[in-house]
Amino acid sequence: MSKIIRIAVFRHSFCLALKILLIDKPIAMITNTYDEVKTLRGEVKYLPAISIILPFEPVMSLKTELEYRLKRAMEKVETELMANYPVHTAVPVIVKLQNLIHQLNYNTHKKSIAIFVSPLVEKVYYLDIRVEEKIVIDESFEIRDLVYSKKQNIQYLVLLLSAERSKMYLGNCSKFVLIKSNAPDNIYAYKNDIAERVGNFSDPDKRKETLIDKFLHHMDEGLSIILKAYSLPVFVLGPERVLGHFKKITRNKEKLVQFIHGNYDEATEPEIRDALQPYINNWRKVKEQDLLQQLESAMNGKKLAIGIQDAWTSAAHKNSRLLVVEKDFVYPGQIVNAETISPRDANANNPFYVKDAVDDVMEKVLQNGGDVEFVENGILKDYDRIALIQYY
């Protein structure tokens, strides 16, 4: 029974523990164990649960630096536990936490860790997301805490286009970095590379339009390569006529969040930043627009799970690149099988009751190397409040 209790406390739901450990077990066994676990509900409610969320990149940081950060976190937890809990309650948690920290994997290529400990639970997640340091001492833990601890960097790409040249920058709140590419950066490089039929055009304007399109095709190919390394929102700046051509030919529409008209051919960095500032000031909207465009692209590619049921099934198959969910969406449910969940029947005494299926889906996505993003309520009205992008 101790194994059941350990999982039950971690998820702060005794019914969920039964779902994990006893699915497909005989009904009599489920009923007996469920009754036993219910008797402990009041007792474990007040036990301290420790959550430590930290950046953890051994391949990028010295081991001594990581050990120092963990030592500081450990000291903070020890101080608070000894000050607020009886010794017989605090010490077992401290010992469990020390053991977990000593056993951490310094060969991982992940970016962060989440450590969860209570008198009956010990768990470590190695995650592919960047996080802000966070230490919580409470009675329970929710996966949403992990998502809320994500480091929110304002980072984007800037593509400057004219009829004759192109530049691309990686931008953030403090600087722009010019990105080098192998693509030629001048339209005249394509004059001798254009098809023979173009040379027969009697209309010079027609020839010029064709040259511009060919040039922009190459710039779009270069952007596709850059986006494989930096999957970021893209601002495109340039004359209205050139941007009109680019909109028609680009294969990266899902990443282009804003077209800004103007002559930026010789623009300085401060001038570019001034043009972008109104959009950077409302970064949340830019980010949500980027996410919606990613969802649309995934749906067109038949790689999108829409709604809690499809998201639950896709997460169970470990095919999860990005989960997008409205921030206040919760879904109490009951498990039908490993791939199916249904709305909770409040009148049914179902041992496979799940307090929040959304939290469970988020946990599966993060465990399997995916990412999770919250958006404002109402943004996903066309996606039943939750959608999961699968790996292509």
Q: Report pLDDT for 41.
A: 36
What's the full length of the chain, in residues?
A: 392
Strand partners, 302: none
Q: Report pLDDT for 349.
A: 56
Specify the fold of 155-281: Nucleotidyltransferase; domain 5 (3.30.420)
Q: Report pLDDT for 97.
A: 94
| Residuewise pLDDT in 10s, the chain (392 residues) | 444 334 333 333 333 333 333 333 332 332 333 333 333 333 444 478 899 999 999 988 889 999 999 999 999 999 999 999 999 889 999 999 999 999 999 999 989 999 989 888 888 989 888 898 999 887 767 788 788 888 778 899 999 998 778 899 999 888 889 886 544 545 555 555 554 444 555 566 677 777 888 889 989 999 999 999 888 999 999 999 999 999 999 999 989 999 999 999 888 889 999 999 999 999 999 999 999 999 999 999 999 999 999 999 999 888 899 999 999 999 887 777 777 777 776 555 555 567 788 988 998 898 888 999 999 999 999 999 999 999 87
Instruction: Provide the pairing of β-strand 333-337 with 353-354.
Output: antiparallel
Strand partners, 142: none
Domain map (residue ranges) of the chain: 155-281, 284-392
Q: How many CA atoms lie within 13 A of 99 on its CB side?
A: 12
Strand partners, 304: 389
Q: Which pTM value belongs to this model?
A: 0.69
Specify the fold of 284-392: 60s Ribosomal Protein L30; Chain: A; (3.30.1330)
- Residue 25 CA from chain centroid, whole number: 35
Dist. CA 156–CA 280, nearest whole Å: 10
Strand partners, 323: 372, 388
Contact 304, 295 (CB under 8 A): yes
